[in-house]
Amino acid sequence: MASLQVGAGRGVGCCFGPLDGRRQERRAMAALRPPRAGAGAKVAEEDKVRLGESSVAVSKLGIGAWSWGDTTYWNDSEWDDRRLKEAKAAFDASIDNGMTFFDTAEVYGTALMGAVNSESLLGDFIRERQQKGAVDVTVATKFAALPWRFGRGSVLSALKKSLERLGLPSVELYQLHWPGLWGNEGYLDGLADAYEQGLVKAVGVSNYNGVLSGKYTPENPPTGPRGNTYTPEFLTKLQPLMNRIKEIGVSYGKNPTQVSLNWLTCQGNVVPIPGAKNAGQAMEFAGALGWSLTFDEVEELRTLAREIKGIKMPIEES
């Protein structure tokens, strides 16, 4: 699960408004542009979170599309019609339950072992839904800072290809997926260019963290690549936090996933983005909305979380 931190400070994802120096003026001017008009029924404004200092507001809970089309990290190295239908059902269930912010990336579902690009799938899902009726969707995607990509031009080139796959004239949020090997100055200039050309409404950086669903335990760690991240040792350290999350969940009639997502939304400057592979997962995530932990519960979980050393996903370590 990813989380987008939309305010100041360090977090698993961070969205910028205007930055410093020369780029500050350019970003500030871009942020004044009105957001792209959504089609159809909208999520109520009080149920949205503003992205940093930008004019963009998104649903309090987003949906990650990393698994859609992927055969490298997800889906047991296979993408087929059944998984496609499940992903489409996840998209529809998300929309139906007020989760209209979708996070994808150009490297999700790269053309390996029968994979299908996640951006292309998301674009197809949006168009198919629009044929049935108006829909209000906001999209975030990411630039891959690959070693052979240099300078600001590489950002615009990659973004335009992403927009082609999505079938959209612009996206609400464009992020640097991970730090560049040769520095980030050129990439940041490229993000500023994207602002000025009206191709994006907000920019940011992306990171990953969190394993608070309770699905994995020291006795039941994940298999495959995720096993290198969620080790039994780490999961053991996580247990005090997970046990308290479960206890709180009992009092609200919620499961650990729903409590964890609600806790993140209670931070005020965080948009959780769990990945939904099917409609059931999307509907489960929706159970995190429409209620709130108390201030004391939020602080208690924050204190327990501070005692756990953070983790990195493999893509951060590349």
Q: What are phi and psi of 87, to 5 degrees?
A: -65, -40
Over the stretch 28-86, which tens digit does the pLDDT of each residue have?
333 333 333 333 446 777 778 888 778 888 998 999 988 888 877 776 777 788 989 99
- Measured in whole angstroms, how far is the alpha carbon of residue 311 from the centre of its chain? 17
DSSP-assigned states of every residue in 259-316: HHHHHHHTTSSEEEE-B-SSHHHHHHHHTTSS----HHHHHHHHHHHHTS-----GGG
pTM over 0.85: no
Q: Write down the pLDDT at residue 215.
A: 73
Residue pair 31/55 in contact by the 8 Å Cβ criterion? yes
Measure the CA–CA gap between 59 and 63, rounded to whole angstroms. 10
Q: Write down the pLDDT at residue 285.
A: 93
DSSP-assigned states of every residue in 212-229: -SS--BTTBPPPGGGGGT
The segments of the chain whose pLDDT lies below 50 read 6-14, 16-41, 208-209, 312-318
Q: Which two tokens stand for residue 242?
A: 């997970």
Enumerate the active-site residues: 108
Q: Write down the pLDDT at residue 101.
A: 94
Q: Write down the pLDDT at residue 31.
A: 33
Q: Which domains does the chain have, with CATH numbers?
A: 2-212+267-294 (3.20.20)
